[in-house]
Structure 1
Amino acid sequence: MAKRIDVKDLNVYYGDFKAVEGVTMTIEPRSVTAFIGPSGCGKSTFLRTLNRMHEVIPGAHVEGSVMLDDQDLYASGVDPVGVRRTVGMVFQRPNPFPTMSIKDNVTAGLRLNGVKDKKQLAEATEESLKGAGLWDEVKDRLDKPGAGLSGGQQQRLCIARAIAVQPQVLLMDEPCSALDPISTLTIEDLITKLKDDFTIVIVTHNMQQASRVSDKTAFFNLAATGKPGKLIEMDDTQTIFNNPTEKATEDYISGRFG
């Protein structure tokens, strides 16, 4: 089941530096939410707090709460690895494991979680690659290296790897920024299909992409370099792009800055 995310009064720190300040938002299940804003405004940092991926940086910590339905992701005793199993992530650049085959890339997470049954792994491989729109292109070369695929195919392989462990939420940090226009449209079509099963959050610098794929859009900004990023406004995507409440949002979308 796709999950709802409720964030309240979230501050994100790297050591003493406050990177993101005071974010409160609700992300609805089975929808696509886009984060937009200029570079350095904290949108990718905030995205990583939704599955505690920011904690891989020493000194990173948060104040506030992130609720996944009724579970507090930052409650004492909550395992970050378990959080990342429930809230998957796809990164900016395709990162298939270079020494692994296509098949082994897809099932890496399952095998890490102790799944050994060959039939189960084979079924998960086919189901996940179909879910990522890649099965027909690779079904005859599953034992070939994943790194031998094109950039767009590698990114879909990474999506297949992320969904193989059956998360409820899928985070995507600029998943198309390293891809050509045709591959970008393929990923966008895939995102639209995946929201039937997952809650999806995407960071993008591409305004057209945000308007095409997302149901809601959140605009982040910062007062000046060195100041924390803040959520300026969040609304239905069409409202944000056609009738935003804040002038800063309108200025950014119209290309006056950023």
Structure 2
Amino acid sequence: MSKRIDVKNLDIYYGDFHAVKSVSMTIEPRSVTAFIGPSGCGKSTVLRTLNRMHEVIPGAHVTGEVLMDDRNLYAKETDPVDVRRQVGMVFQRPNPFPTMSIRENVLAGVSLNSKRLSKSAADELLEQSLRGANLWTEVKDRLDRPGAGLSGGQQQRLCIARAIAVQPEVILMDEPCSALDPISTLAIEDLINELKSDYTVVIVTHNMQQAARVSDRTGFFNLEATGMPGELVEMDDTPKIFSNPSKKATEDYISGRFG
């Protein structure tokens, strides 16, 4: 598990609108990469191209390449459903399936992928996934209760367990803590640090302190003006981005002069 991603000359469109231009970057395996930047600069849009969720929107398309260990995710022969099995997504707001139990939520992705498991194998995968999301000890005695009955932070970790259960190589997180209280945020940040030992993790965050705490590398996105395409201004090791960025626009954003 854990794959390297190379993005080459990626341009992203919503119909005729050019949303993001000329993004090239490398995302290293077994690391946490953070995308930061002001609202509307394209960082979440870029994140969604990494597992081909962008193209679910009618008229949306990309040019360029996204390579996962040299496999082009946008090649004609590549099945987008297979890409989404390998590249899991955790969204901004926790989204457990409301009619499903904790157990059913964790195993939902496995069921959707038509994998038939024996009860013992399913129980093993359930525990393994919940332990991987640091949730097992909190829910092991109520696995058949509704997932929607958990607290917000627990629901987000449940969604992470659901993502882990299908055994992806990459986990994408789109502002996973924005709807959470500080204690739950700390739990998710601790979990992100643990996940990078097994997965490639990419996180979008508006919280620059969070990016500084959890990421190994940071990419700063910006746009010249409203209506213009967003672009990757620079990407580097996180300590360098926050202490000695190469571009003035990055320094201005980090220092709070805009954004």
Q: What TM-score range do you get, normalising by the shorter chain?
A: over 0.9
Distance 2:9 2:3 in 1: 20
TM-score after normalising by structure 1: 0.99
Is the 1:35–1:219 Cα contact (8 Å) retained in structure 2?
Answer: yes
* SS class of match (1:231): strand
Deviation at 1:115, TM superposition (A): 2.4
2:200 matched residue in structure 1: 199
When the two chains are superposed, the root-mean-square deviation of aligned CA atoms in Å is: 0.5
1:189 matched residue in structure 2: 190
2:223 matched residue in structure 1: 222
* SS class of match (1:93): coil
CA displacement 1:75-97 (0-9 Å, x = unmatched): 00211111000000000000000
Distance 1:114 1:228 in 2: 39
Is the 1:34–1:214 Cα contact (8 Å) retained in structure 2?
Answer: yes
Which letter does structure 2 place at the counterpart of 1:249? T
1:237 matched residue in structure 2: 238
1:139 matched residue in structure 2: 140
Which letter does structure 2 place at the counterpart of 1:214? S
Which letter does structure 2 place at the counterpart of 1:65? E
* SS class of match (2:97): coil
2:91 matched residue in structure 1: 91
1:69 matched residue in structure 2: 69
Which letter does structure 2 place at the counterpart of 1:225? T
Quick check: 1:153 aligned with 2:162? no
Which letter does structure 2 place at the counterpart of 1:4? R
1:246 matched residue in structure 2: 247
Is the 1:217–1:236 Cα contact (8 Å) retained in structure 2?
Answer: yes
Quick check: 1:80 aligned with 2:80? yes
Aligned length: 258
Distance 1:242 1:18 in 2: 32
Deviation at 1:120, TM superposition (A): 1.4
Distance 1:163 1:225 in 2: 37
Distance 2:222 2:70 in 1: 29
Which letter does structure 2 place at the counterpart of 1:70? D
Please list every run of at least 4 consecutive aligned residues from structure 1 whose deviation after the TM superposition is greater than 6 angstroms: none
Which letter does structure 1 place at the counterpart of 2:144? D
CA displacement 1:53-89 (0-9 Å, x = unmatched): 1111000000000000021000002111110000000
TM-score after normalising by structure 2: 0.99
Is the 1:115–1:121 Cα contact (8 Å) retained in structure 2?
Answer: no
Percent pairwise identity: 77
1:171 matched residue in structure 2: 172
Is the 1:8–1:65 Cα contact (8 Å) retained in structure 2?
Answer: yes
Structure 2 residues not aligned, in runs of 5+: none
Deviation at 1:111, TM superposition (A): 1.1
Distance 1:195 1:35 in 2: 16
Quick check: 1:211 aligned with 2:212? yes
